[in-house]
Amino acid sequence: MRLRNKPWAKDKIEEYPQYAVPNPELNKGKWDEVFGNNNPLHIEVGTGKGRFITEMAKAHPDINYMGIELYDSVIVAALDRLIEAELPNVKLLNVNAAELEKYFAKNDVDRVYLNFSDPWPKTRHEKRRLTYKDFLKSYENILVDGGEIHFKTDNQGLFEYSLMSFSEYGLLLKFLSLDLHKSDFEGNIMTEYEQKFSEMGNLIYRCEVKYTNDSKGQS
């Protein structure tokens, strides 16, 4: 994906610390203080323009949401959504997903959403896939015991790879759909990519997996 540079994005992000959290490493282990409550925290790794995280927050006001996005030229669109919606239960982190453990402690997070992640199809780029074992370990280290990953994609190759990766790690498969929009799944909120790909006729794949005592990272 080619990103259009927005040199003003970083300054705008800094203008709204109530939404885009500055110095997030200082809040590790105490995100409940940032949100002002003890509600569950769900994070979206690769939040893009923020449609999913914003609509989820509207639908579930008793859950705290956090969108994580590396590119400031992208996350600024999510920031615009939050400014307009004035949602108290959403925050944004403009950080690298490979460093999640820098910002979250064990038990900080209840659920991880991975929506239409970059498939990194070349074998030499396997370690960059957000469902690679090293990322699964990182999620486990910030999730509560029994925490879940909810994963959506239109990329069949990435979905098949991810199912294998989840299985090899010892995750429990709770839900699986090979054609989400023709399933009986309720409460689906589409991302920008999901709407685009679905309108093109692409199948949408979705699964939910849960960490168990059999997961590789468990001692």
Catalytic residues: 118
Say if CB 10 and CB 38 are below 8 A apart: no
Q: What are 112's strand-pairing partners?
A: 43, 149
Element (H, E) at 73: helix 72-85
If you search the block for the tokens 């590396």, which residue do you land on? 70
**Residues 6+ away with beta carbon under 8 Å from 48:** 69, 74, 77, 78, 115, 116, 191, 192, 193
**Sheet containing 172-177: order of strands:** 90-93, 64-68, 41-45, 109-115, 143-153, 205-210, 172-177
